[in-house]
C-alpha cells in the first residue's frame, strides 16, 4: 500500500484549524453588540450630545425633519455625510433656510435627532 505525504499534511492542517476553534470565538451576545455599520464607540460618548457644522439641504416641518450635509463628527465617530435628522422641536428650525451654513447640537438617538440649530458664525 502506498502512503503519500499529502494525506498527512491534510490531517495536520485540519488539526491546527480545529484546535484554533476553541472558546476564543465571540459569543452571540458579543458579536451582536459589535454589529452595525457605524464605527463602534463607548456608549456614553456615542449616545451623548454632539456638535457639528453643516449646510441645510431641506427642511420638512410637517414631517419634523431637516436634511443636512455635515462635516465629520469625531465625538460620534461619523464621517462627513448628508443625512436627514429628526427635529426634537420643529420650532428649532425657525429662521433657518435651505443653503444656510449652521452649527447644530444633536444626539444619535433614532438615527439622529437635532436638539438645537444656530446659523454658523
Contact call for residues 55 and 39 (beta carbons, < 8 A): no
pLDDT in tens, 46-58: 568 999 999 999 9
pTM confidence score: 0.62
Q: What average pLDDT does the chain have? A: 75
3-state secondary structure of 83: strand
For the chain, domains (ranges, CATH) are 45-119 (2.40.50.320)
Amino acid at each position: 500500500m502506498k502512503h503519500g505525504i499529502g494525506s498527512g499534511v491534510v490531517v495536520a492542517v485540519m488539526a491546527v484549524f480545529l484546535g484554533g476553534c476553541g472558546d476564543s470565538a465571540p459569543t452571540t451576545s458579543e458579536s451582536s453588540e459589535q454589529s452595525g455599520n457605524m464605527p463602534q464607540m463607548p456608549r456614553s460618548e456615542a449616545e451623548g450630545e454632539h456638535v457639528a457644522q453643516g449646510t441645510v439641504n431641506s427642511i420638512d416641518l410637517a414631517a419634523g425633519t431637516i436634511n443636512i450635509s455635515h462635516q465629520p463628527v469625531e465625538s460620534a465617530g461619523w464621517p462627513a455625510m448628508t443625512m436627514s435628522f429628526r427635529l426634537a422641536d420643529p420650532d428649532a428650525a425657525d429662521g433657518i433656510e435651505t443653503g444656510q451654513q449652521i452649527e447644530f447640537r444633536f444626539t444619535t438617538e433614532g438615527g439622529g435627532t437635532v436638539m438645537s440649530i444656530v446659523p454658523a458664525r
